[in-house]
Amino acid sequence: MVNLEDLAISQLNDLNLPDSILIIPDGNGRWAKSQNLGTSEGHKTGGIKLMEVLKQFLKLKTKVIGIWGFSEDNWKRDKDEIDGIMSVIKNTIENNMDTFMENNVKFIRLGKEERLRKEYPEVFETLRKAEEDTKENDGKILAVFLDYGERFQLEEFAREREKDKETPTYDLLSKINKGLPLFDMVLRTSGELRTSGFGPLATLAEYVIIEKNLPEIGRNDFAQALIEYSQRQRRFGGRNLSK
């Protein structure tokens, strides 16, 4: 019997898919409010949905998926909400380590570490261990961005450029981001039309928006986003002479 899900994945893989995708997850709080639930429940459900997307990603020819889990500005939120976000991140990584190992996925964390290490040492240790345990994996890459944003990246880049005057800009940018390439596609949920200051790794990306809040999305929504991307023409400032 034909597995319909595998058939759908095969059809997606025939498309012009991005090599790298950044997900900006949004709408957990709004969804929770609409369901008369606490914000932490929204983050828990959003974490589950992200792992569903990850399992779909593992079957695609796309090589890198990034998740912007916590921005520089998210520290402005109430501590109870931050506690909930950090708990979801810790539990999600711990609960999916077998999946990472079985599928040859390298996990990497990017962003400032001082405050995270100080205020959430157990979360920091979980992330550090996940990086260490998967460092020899050479299949796909899952990158989680925490306490990360444009200000941090500009500061890091300026420090590296002071020491290294020769390396081309995008190569140096990749170097300070643990070898990650520029993202081809940025996927944002909840219908928001903004980058929220992620930073230069998304400079040349195609943006695809899903109108639904993160806890509402399903595999079909992710598939439709990939189809939309595949229909874009990326000219990088040039022209498509066939048109």
The set of residues, in sequence order, having a beta carbon less than 8 Å from that of 193 and lying 6+ positions away, is: 209
- CA–CA dist 57, 65 (Å, integer): 8
The yes-or-no answer on residue 73 being catalytic is no
Distances (CA, A) of 57 to 13, 51, 61, 127, 178: 11, 9, 8, 21, 21
Residue from 26, 28, 177, 213 carrying the catalytic annotation: 26
Residue from 74, 91, 103, 137 carrying the catalytic annotation: 74
Rg (CA), the chain: 18
Which residue reads 């025939």 in tokens? 14
The yes-or-no answer on residue 74 being catalytic is yes
- CA–CA dist 128, 108 (Å, integer): 9
Residues with catalytic annotation?
A: 26, 74
